[in-house]
């Protein structure tokens, strides 16, 4: 059974650019959630996808968007990057009727 | 909505000493609670979870936590810590209702530093 994998592990972008982060969910899981963890803070919920539909969103602007594919992998897209978007982005997958979330290693995004 | 508060941002202890990391929650409905650990430059790993049943929950790496409804607490404990326990610890609770609509609300984290 493979765990949650995220790519890339690190990347550096320039303010105003766009970025796509990727997540492969754990086998058998159809729910993917994305979190932003700023330095020294706890993770903050961005949004959740369930069976390819957005299923809940946190307090993030529309330039944060996502997709979930038929194989339940997911993408997080951020447009018009700002310096404050620099953070660790975490993906978590879970089974539909199970509250336990399994996290990937995260993608460290630096905006300069 | 449910929220969690971690009362200590940093907890330094000596190796082989006991440790308690504090977490309080607020909720008027059924409670699910989790503790996650984050080692430097890594993602989150589930230490233990309380869903229902026994209020004393045992997790990995010798950690345990006790759900206390009257004090709305879910403190994490370990009787004897190791250097390798140095990490950030997060208390978390789901918000939302039913099915897969669980988003986790995290506390701000407690940095446990184990010194030789």
Cβ–Cβ gap B102/A50 under 8 Å: no
Helices in A11-58 by DSSP H: which ranges? none
Q: Which residue has the higher pLDDT, B15 or B26?
A: B15
CB atoms within 10 A of CB A12: 12
Q: What's the rounded Cα separation, in Å, for the pair B92 and B61?
A: 19
Give the per-residue pLDDT at A89: 97
Cβ–Cβ gap B46/A102 under 8 Å: yes
Which residues face B112 on adjacent strands?
Answer: B11, B87
Q: What's the rounded Cα separation, in Å, for the pair B24 and B19?
A: 16
Confidence of residue B100 (pLDDT cuts 50, 70, 90): very low
Give the per-residue pLDDT at A94: 86
Give the per-residue pLDDT at B1: 61
Cβ–Cβ gap B108/A99 under 8 Å: no
Give the per-residue pLDDT at B32: 85
Q: What is the pLDDT of residues B27-83, one digit of tens each?
A: 765 678 899 999 988 889 999 999 888 899 999 999 999 999 999 999 999 999 999
Q: What's the rounded Cα separation, in Å, for the pair A85 and B90?
A: 22
Q: Closest Cα of chain B to A103: distance in Å?
A: 6
Cβ–Cβ gap A42/B45 under 8 Å: no
CB atoms within 10 A of CB A1: 5
Q: Which of residues 68-107 of A touch B (CB under 8 A)?
A: 90, 92, 94-97, 99-106
Q: What is the pLDDT of residues B16-25, one digit of tens each?
A: 999 999 999 9
Q: Closest Cα of chain A to B17: distance in Å?
A: 25
A61 close to B (CB below 8 A): no
List chain A residues with pLDDT less than 50: none
CB atoms within 10 A of CB A5: 15
Q: What's the rounded Cα separation, in Å, for the pair A63 and A9?
A: 21
Buried-state track B12-43, b at ≥16 Cβ within 10 A, e below 16: ebeeeeebebbbbbebeeebbbbbbbbeeeeb
CB pairs under 8 A between A and B: 69
């Amino acid at each position: 059974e493979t765990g949650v994998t995220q790519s890339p592990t690190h990347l550096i972008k320039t303010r105003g650019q766009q970025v796509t982060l990727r997540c492969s969910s754990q086998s058998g899981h159809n729910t993917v959630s994305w979190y932003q963890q700023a330095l020294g803070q706890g993770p903050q919920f961005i949004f959740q996808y369930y069976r390819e539909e957005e299923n809940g969103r946190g307090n993030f602007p529309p330039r944060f968007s996502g997709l979930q594919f038929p194989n339940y992998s997911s993408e997080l897209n951020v447009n018009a990057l700002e310096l404050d978007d620099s953070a660790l982005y975490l993906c978590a997958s879970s089974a539909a009727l199970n509250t336990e979330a399994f996290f990937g290693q995260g993608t460290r995004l630096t905006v300069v | 909505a449910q929220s969690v508060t971690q009362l200590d941002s940093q907890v330094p202890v000596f190796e082989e000493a006991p440790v308690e990391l504090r977490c309080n929650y607020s909720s008027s409905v059924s409670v699910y609670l989790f503790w996650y650990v984050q080692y430097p430059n890594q993602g989150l790993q589930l230490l233990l979870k309380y869903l229902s049943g026994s209020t004393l929950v045992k997790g990995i790496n010798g950690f345990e936590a006790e759900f206390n409804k009257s004090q709305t607490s879910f403190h994490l404990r370990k009787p004897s810590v190791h250097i390798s326990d140095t990490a950030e610890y997060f208390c978390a609770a789901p918000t939302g209702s039913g099915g897969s609509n669980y988003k986790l609300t995290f506390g701000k984290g407690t940095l446990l530093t184990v010194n030789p």
